[in-house]
A and B are shown apart, each in its own frame.
Chain A
Amino acid sequence: MRLEPVAAPGLARTLGLPALAIAATVVVASALAMLAGANPFATLGLIVKGAAGSKFAALETLNRATPLIFTGLAVAVAFRAKLWNIGAEAQLYAGALMTVLIGTQMGLPGPVAIPAMAIAAVLAGALVLLGPVLLKVRLGVDEVVTTLLFNFIMLLFISMLLEGPLKDPMGMGWPKSEAIPRDARLPRIVDGLRLHWGFGLALISAVVVWVIQVKTTLGYEIRAVGQNPQAARFAGIPVGRVMVKTALLSGGLAALAGFSEVAGLKGNLTLDLSPGFGYTGIVVAMLALLHPLGVVVSALFVAGIFVGADSMSRAAEVPTYIADISVATALLFMVLAILLTRFRVVRG
């Protein structure tokens, strides 16, 4: 078999194939539900209901989507430049750590504390990714593995702090930090509804990233470096510097996920702050084809699956990991579908 480019893919191809990928994912999820002895239709129904069937459910999905938008943006920005940042998890925790440090140690009044926490978080996240990127640019060390390994180092570092200097004395021995004061928390968007301004910030970030990508020279440089670094270098684009700028942006965005989770939702830092938001961000970004606004949509989709599956598994005997499998399957089917919108398979 051989792949042949499709000169002008029709609408049926560009929309039909991705739709088919989602359909295939639904089939896989149904099969998994049947394996668990459940009725697939009922299971899927429960997932949808749990994700969007009530105001509470929908808000829960929005809340879950918030960190995923941030990490999804972080990955989308980096992958555009072919900078393989698999370390959004570490950058998220770095952001969360700075948020807690500023929020609990400085005694700043709320209106000052919130921007201070956000800025410190962004700086910390950017700094965490700077190391691997400098190693890549200067020494040619593959950033996939270094960013991955940093995730483990960061988690151990946080664990060390939570059992040491940052340990909440009132925490009954649990490794968690003190909570930041009420007035330093992100306010609700609408009074009485459990949705905080982190979500708003995520939407704003998506728009900002989109504007950067299409309207600024930096966005142009990032795309050029990602698509053809040799041509970019020839044209005078400083490839290394663009990589570093991309890293700062990406790391900062991932850190905002940590900031928003701590300041908007949890209030304190624990080791289970993120159930893998950094890794899921990769799926979110890929499903969105790395488009910043698409990230919002795909984050909502992925968050819906997770929230829906949580709720479903309480009612039916299907483990929540059906969500993880579905998301991974969707990713693999989707990258294949996207390829096939541009290429057709021919014999010989």
Chain B
Amino acid sequence: MGAREVVLRLEGITKRFGKLTANDDIGFALHRGEVLALLGENGAGKTTLMNILFGHYTADSGTVEVFGQPLPPGAPGAALAAGVGMVHQHFTLAGNMTVLENILLGTRPLFGMGLGRGAARARVEQLSRDFGLAVHPDAKVKTLSVGERQRVEILKALYRDARILILDEPTAVLTPQESDALFETLKKAVAQGLSIIFISHKLHEVTAVSDRVIVLRHGRVVGEVATDQTDRHRIAEMMVGAEVALPHPPLGRAGTALMELRDVSTPPEGNRTGLRRVTLSLKAGQITGLAGVSGNGQGALADLVSGLIAPDSGELRVAGQTVARWSPRAALAAGVGRIPEDRHATGSIADFTLTENAVLEGYARPPFSRAGWMDWTRARAHAEDIIEKYDVRCPGPEARIRLLSGGNMQKLILGRALEAGPKIILANQPVRGLDIGALTYVQECLIAARDAGAAVLLISEDLDEIRALSDVIHVMSEGRLSPEFPRGSKTPAELGQWMAGQGFADAA
């Protein structure tokens, strides 16, 4: 690695939001030509730190130095100008503009004339070749795949002569193969003298690409190790404070099929993949795990099970009967309990109280209403039940749900679904973003529901979670569903190949 020139140094960064300390005296240095992995669970303070670096937040105390020069706090653009480029997890691209226009955005004086497209296009094509980032400069961004969009993000940084590249959870949306291509690009970048911060919570990637690992927990740096002098378990321990223990539930006793999909297809919606001739059987007493890179049809399948969309072709059978009219209400009536992917946008109403949220799915029927009149006494009692039984930490049933932490909000949603006594449970990313306590609790509830005879469909991007909890596993790729694999019958690598689309009958 030669001379260990420090290109970026953070010292004593502290940022508080009200009572919460998001960043607590964080400090570390990035050296030229190294890949530094920044590791931590959700809520560990990674995003806040990046927002401070890019001037979107002003730190309460602490300094940032880039190439030895202090960065003025709270000045968006200063980091960019100093040669730091960021690839955000949620892409910062305008879909209505071309690749070239997105790259050019903000690179010229705002009130200047002309865009100099010709020279810019040549430069972008050169960079594409040098770093292995194939993408057409004149394509509209909204027509691009997720992988291509990420390449545009990287090109944006390179076009601005970034010497430091920060990637936030870059592989969350990529297939294993696309991830490998990304790692190749990163290697080329390092070879050219760039330095990289790689933010992730996936251990195996971190160990694969990084030279050094820094672990954040509760807003503090809790560990720093050279990657080649440690192993995954040690890092995992640092992340959560104790070794992560995934549950090892015994296999469930599969009963009759409660919900069956036969050759079901649904049309794609906008950018979202539809289902392509999916056949699936959800059996009583069984957790069916659905693995796959996000955006490969899991959304459509979840919407279908929860009643938001109906099959375009094929057959949906619930409890042995073909379903004619399918809607959220029909799904609820058929005994489908739903834990949606996005608890804020879909699962709850932020300004409603816990009581109002607790009856969101059941308000139209007794005991919560009769002949159009709400029975708020019963509703409140129901909310209090859930709060107690599911250990929802809150000021009370009349508090607005927006005040709750993600874990407590999820427990209320879980309680709402489970208290209705569902026969079929859709759990879409049920533990994403939860702290370890809530996570374990939610998983235990799902296992208990299975043991009580419910058919559970568990959708997750976390392969370890899927492999630990599921009795049987399916993989989705481009809207297609793999055959059923019993627990333990496939290695992660084999599942990864299915995730990349290999093995399907109509593989194209």
Contacts and interface: CB of A to CB of B under 8 A. Distances in A.
Answer yes or no: A and B touching, Cβ < 8 Å: yes
Given A227-B351, A348-B73, A236 B58 contact: no
Contacts of B361: 235-236
B306 interface: yes
A234 B369 contact: no
Contact of A348 (B18, B58, B348, B360): B58
A105 interface: no
A234 B18 contact: no
Given A217-B364, A218-B372, A234 B346 contact: yes
B111 interface: no
A219 B372 CA distance: 9
A231 B346 contact: yes
A216 B372 contact: yes
A6 to B, nearest CB: 9
**Closest 5 A-B residue pairs measured CB to CB?**
A348-B58, A236-B329, A236-B328, A235-B360, A348-B74
B15 to A, nearest CB: 10
27 contacts: A4-B17, A4-B18, A7-B403, A216-B372, A216-B373, A217-B363, A217-B373, A217-B374, A220-B356, A220-B363, A224-B349, A224-B352, A227-B349, A227-B350, A228-B349, A230-B345, A231-B346, A231-B347, A231-B360, A233-B328, A234-B306, A234-B308, A235-B361, A236-B329, A236-B331, A348-B57, A348-B73
B502 interface: no
Contacts of B364: 217, 236
Interface string B1-43: 0000000000000000110000000000000000000000000
A2 B329 CA distance: 40
A215 interface: yes
A347 B332 contact: no
B142 to A, nearest CB: 19
Contacts of A7: 18, 403
A232 interface: yes
A231 B57 contact: no
B338 interface: yes
B307 interface: yes
Contacts of A232: 349
Contacts of A224: 349, 352, 356, 360
Interface residues on A, range: 20 to 34
Contacts of B308: 233-234
Contacts of A231: 345-349, 360
B372 A217 contact: yes
Contacts of B374: 215-217, 219-220
Contacts of A234: 306, 308, 328, 338, 340, 346-347
Contacts of A228: 345, 348-350
Interface string B322-363: 000001110110000010100001111111100010001101
B249 to A, nearest CB: 29
Nearest to B365: A217
A223 B374 CA distance: 13
A218 B372 CA distance: 7
Interface in A51-71: none
A230 B351 contact: no
A230 B346 CA distance: 6
Which of B350, B372, B403 gathers the greatest number of chain A CB atoms within 10 Å?
B372
Nearest to A211: B373
A228 B361 CA distance: 14
A220 B308 CA distance: 21
B401 to A, nearest CB: 11
Interface of B: 17-18, 57-58, 73-74, 306-308, 327-329, 331-332, 338, 340, 345-352, 356, 360-361, 363-364, 369, 372-374, 403
A224 B356 CA distance: 9
Interface in A223-253: 223-224, 227-228, 230-236, 238
A238 B329 CA distance: 9
B265 to A, nearest CB: 22
Interface string A1-29: 01010010000000000000000000000
Nearest to A347: B58
Contacts of B332: 236
Contacts of A219: 374
Which of B307, B350, B373 gathers the greatest number of chain A CB atoms within 10 Å?
B373
Nearest to B361: A235
B234 to A, nearest CB: 37
A80 B120 CA distance: 49
A193 B242 CA distance: 80
A228 B356 CA distance: 13
A219 B347 CA distance: 20
Nearest to B370: A217
Contacts of A4: 17-18
A106 B369 CA distance: 42
Contacts of A223: 352
A35 to B, nearest CB: 37
Which of A219, A233, A348 gathers the greatest number of chain B CB atoms within 10 Å?
A348
A206 B363 CA distance: 24
A220 B332 CA distance: 18
Nearest to B19: A7
A236 B307 contact: yes
B336 to A, nearest CB: 11
A236 B327 CA distance: 7
A78 B350 CA distance: 20
A216 to B, nearest CB: 5
Nearest to B379: A220
Contacts of B340: 234
B508 to A, nearest CB: 33
A238 B328 CA distance: 9
B188 to A, nearest CB: 36
Nearest to A348: B58
Contacts of A2: 57
Contacts of B345: 228, 230-231
Contacts of B372: 216-218
Contacts of A348: 57-58, 73-74
Interface string A184-227: 00000000000000000000000000000001111110011001
A223 B33 CA distance: 55
A224 B360 CA distance: 9
A21 B243 CA distance: 56
A314 B374 CA distance: 52
A224 B340 CA distance: 17
A234 B17 CA distance: 32
Contacts of B331: 236
A219 to B, nearest CB: 8
A223 B359 CA distance: 14
Given A224-B356, A234-B340, A236-B327, 8 more contacts: A4-B17, A217-B369, A217-B373, A217-B374, A220-B363, A220-B374, A236-B331, A348-B74
